[in-house]
Amino acid sequence: MRPPYLLLDVDGVLIPFPDADGAGPASHTRHDVVPIDRRSDNPVTVWLNPAHGPLLTQVIRTGLVIPVWCTSWRQDASTLIGPLLGLPRLPYIDLPRPQITTSHPNGYLWKRDHVDAWLGNAPVIWIDDDFTDLDHEWAAERTARGRTTALVQPDPHVGLLAEHLVEVLAWSVLLPVAQTDVPAIPHEAEAG
């Protein structure tokens, strides 16, 4: 049996939104990174909690979930954000780059349709700060159809907490023993 996927967002989860002064939480460390679509003289400042790396590593080592980046950072999550946290290279979903002015153009998270197609029948627990009620309804409907789905939604100004990862582990150990028709990780999601 293949374990369920653990989809990880970055902004609002590992990188909390800054306060009014532009600073991150005291628990987070400032880093300047250069995503692949930017020049080195135009870095992006991010605030990361160094404790997230060991916490996520412990979850990964349990083998109860298959971690996959699900973020607009795409491969930069694996090559820039992950290494700063001491994480191994993780696969990522190669999300499209929609021309949108809101993260909920249809009343739900813009990533959802692409993620739903990518997942197929695979079970998933997805950590993202930006779900709407329609996303929670989607998760319940997917679960009712036998595609076990859970959403974990951190406060975007606080980000990921240890209790969120406890929720991931508690959920994953309660899954039925025999999941069937779970696809292999698609090529686009393989860490490169």
**φ and ψ at residue 120, rounded to 5 degrees:** 60, -125
pLDDT digits (tens, 9 = 90+) for 100-144: 888 888 888 989 999 999 999 999 999 999 999 999 999 999 999
Q: Which helix (H) or strand (E) holds 127?
A: strand 124-127
pTM: 0.88
pLDDT digits (tens, 9 = 90+) for 141-180: 999 999 999 999 999 999 999 999 999 999 999 987 544 4
Structural domains of the chain ordered from first start:
5-15+50-189 (3.40.50)
How deeply is 1 buried, as exposed, middle or buried, from its count of CB atoms within 10 A (0-12, 13-18, 19+)?
exposed
